[in-house]
């Protein structure tokens, strides 16, 4: 799957007292990137959830390298791509950029769950996440 990009403006609420983006705000930016990647691929998370009875995604592990800070009023880009698809998990590679400058990189392992337990990704969903046409 090719990288997906969304643009976000940094607001006062995203920063700490110094005007720099607070570290936890980056987690929200990354979550938006993963959500929009799925939406752009035609994956309806509400339908997957099936009223609480279906498939959910949960972050299992996240490795983040903060390289440079973003500041209030910056326009940043969250770039998200599927790096690997496993039986019941997805590895997502993400970057946050200001122009061409990389501010942050993240590798995120997302687990697929049904009823709170790991669940194999359905074949059609797997194909979409791997950048193939579903069968």
Q: Which residues are catalytic?
A: 16
Give the whole-angstrom CA distance, residue 44 versus residue 32.
14
CB-based contacts of 129, cutoff 8 Å, min separation 6: 1, 41, 82, 85, 90, 121
Tokens of 3: 């990288």
For Cα atoms 127, 108, 81, give the angle at the middle one, nearest 5 degrees: 45
User: How many CB atoms sit inside 10 A of residue 75's CB?
Assistant: 11
Are 95 and 67 in contact by the 8 Å Cβ rule? The answer is: no
Are 21 and 14 in contact by the 8 Å Cβ rule? The answer is: yes
């Amino acid at each position: 799957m090719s990288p997906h990009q969304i643009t976000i403006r940094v607001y006062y609420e995203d920063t700490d007292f110094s005007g720099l983006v607070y570290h936890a705000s980056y987690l929200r930016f990354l979550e938006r990137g993963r959500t929009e990647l799925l939406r752009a691929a035609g994956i309806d998370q509400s339908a997957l959830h099936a009223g609480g009875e279906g498939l959910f995604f949960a972050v299992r592990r996240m490795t983040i390298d903060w390289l440079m800070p973003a500041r209030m009023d910056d326009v940043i880009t969250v770039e998200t791509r599927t790096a690997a698809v496993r039986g019941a998990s997805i590895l997502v590679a993400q970057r946050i950029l200001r122009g061409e400058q990389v501010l942050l990189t993240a590798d995120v392992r997302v687990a697929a769950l049904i009823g709170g337990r790991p669940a194999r990704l359905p074949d059609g969903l797997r194909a979409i996440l791997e950048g193939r046409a579903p069968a």
